[in-house]
Structure formats: C-alpha cells, structure tokens
Amino acid sequence: LRIFFDDLDTAWFSCLDFDDSGRCNPEEFQRGCRLLGFRRNALQLFRYLDVSGDGVITLNELLVLGLPRARSREEAHKFARDTGHKARVDFEIFLKTRYKSTLLHAWRLAFCPGPCETHLMHAVNVEDFCNRCRSLNFQGNYQALWNELTQRVAHHDRRASGGTSFGGTSFGGTSFGG
C-alpha cells in the first residue's frame, strides 16, 4: 500500500471498499490484493486484519498498518475511482505540459537517467515509478496508472518484439517491471 498510496484512506477507497459501504468483505479484499500485486495468501491476511472476527474489515481495523490518514474524505476520494485509462491520459498530459515536449522526450527526461545510449536498456520498477511521480508532483492514482501501463506493455510484448508501448508511443526498450 505504501508504494502506491500516501495515506490509508485513499488506499481504502481505491482498492478495498469498492462499493463505498465502509466495509470490505473477503472477495473485495482478494480483488484489492490482486490489483496491488500482492502474491501471498490474501485470505490469511484478511483473517489477520479482521480483528473483530465479523467477516469484514473496516478502515479502523487497518490502522494497525501505520499509514497516515487523509486530511479529508474528499482528498481521499479525489483520485480513488480513477480508471487506468483516465490516470494514463492525465499522466501523459502532465508530462507533455511539464516538459513542454513530446511524450517520448518528456518520458525520457522524467524517467531515464544517464546518457541517451542507456535509455534503451532502462527499466522502471513500481517503487521507483511511484517515487518519481511523487517527486515530479504528479497527482493521480499511481496504482491504476501502473496497472494500465504494465498491462499495455504486456499486451504489446505479446504482439510484437522490440520496444514497449506507452500511450501509443514506442519507448524503444524502456520496460516496466516488478
């Protein structure tokens, strides 16, 4: 959760409380864990977090995780329901505007350190990606954005060899992973 979200409330509304009921059942929890890339036993974790033993988890039961709380419900909801597509479009606009350049050039300036010759071999992992988004002051749903980008790359990699795809632009070797 700490990789994708700055506070517990945004994580809750983005990945666990899909119906805004204030409760998360085991099925919602498993779905949220899959979205977050959690690869261990989600039901075992659910049972651990369900301290009341009533078969649902509430936001208060997740306080044990030690994540800070959002300043307001509105702040937590701001990007929580963004789809991957919306997050990607917002991100592309942000990069092009910030760097006053094409998407490819903006991507390289933001995410590819070192000389141009090394850009073709550069990989971005999830933690570095989210941290870089924060340092650029991009505000959005990092989890939805990461899943959108990595799914597009996986789809592209299955269809063709060569560079990865991001927003319809070939990034000639930049890869997303882990």
Q: In this structure, what DSSP letter does residue 48 have?
A: H
Backbone angles phi, psi at 32, to 5 degrees: -60, -40
Q: Is the dihedral of CA 110, 113, 126, 67 positive or negative?
A: negative
152-172 per-position pLDDT tens digit:
655 444 444 343 334 443 343
Coil, strand, or helix at residue 123?
Answer: strand
The answer to whether the CB of 22 falls within 8 A of the CB of 59 is yes
- C-beta neighbour count of 25 within 10 angstroms: 18
- Give the integer Cα–Cα distance in Å for 4 and 86: 16
Query: What are the structure tokens assigned to 107, written together?
Result: 């991507």
Mean pLDDT of 94-115: 92
Q: What are the C-alpha distances in Å from 154 to residues 77, 100, 157, 168?
A: 29, 28, 5, 14
Q: What is the pLDDT of residue 143?
A: 95
1-15 per-position pLDDT tens digit:
889 999 999 999 999
Query: What are the structure tokens assigned to 26, written together?
Result: 């085991």
Q: Burial, 150: exposed, middle or buried (Cβ in 10 Å; 0-12, 13-18, 19+)?
A: buried
Q: What is the pLDDT of residue 163?
A: 39
**177 has a pLDDT exceeding 80:** no
Query: Percentage of residues in the chain with pLDDT exceeding 90?
Result: 71
Q: What is the pLDDT of residue 117?
A: 83
Instruction: Provide the greatest CA pair distance for the chain.
Output: 57
The answer to whether the CB of 141 falls within 8 A of the CB of 87 is yes
62-97 per-position pLDDT tens digit:
999 999 999 999 999 999 999 999 999 999 999 999
Q: What is the pLDDT of residue 153?
A: 58
Q: What is the pLDDT of residue 118?
A: 81
Q: What is the pLDDT of residue 89?
A: 96
Q: How confident is the model at residue 120 (pLDDT cuts 50, 70, 90)?
A: confident
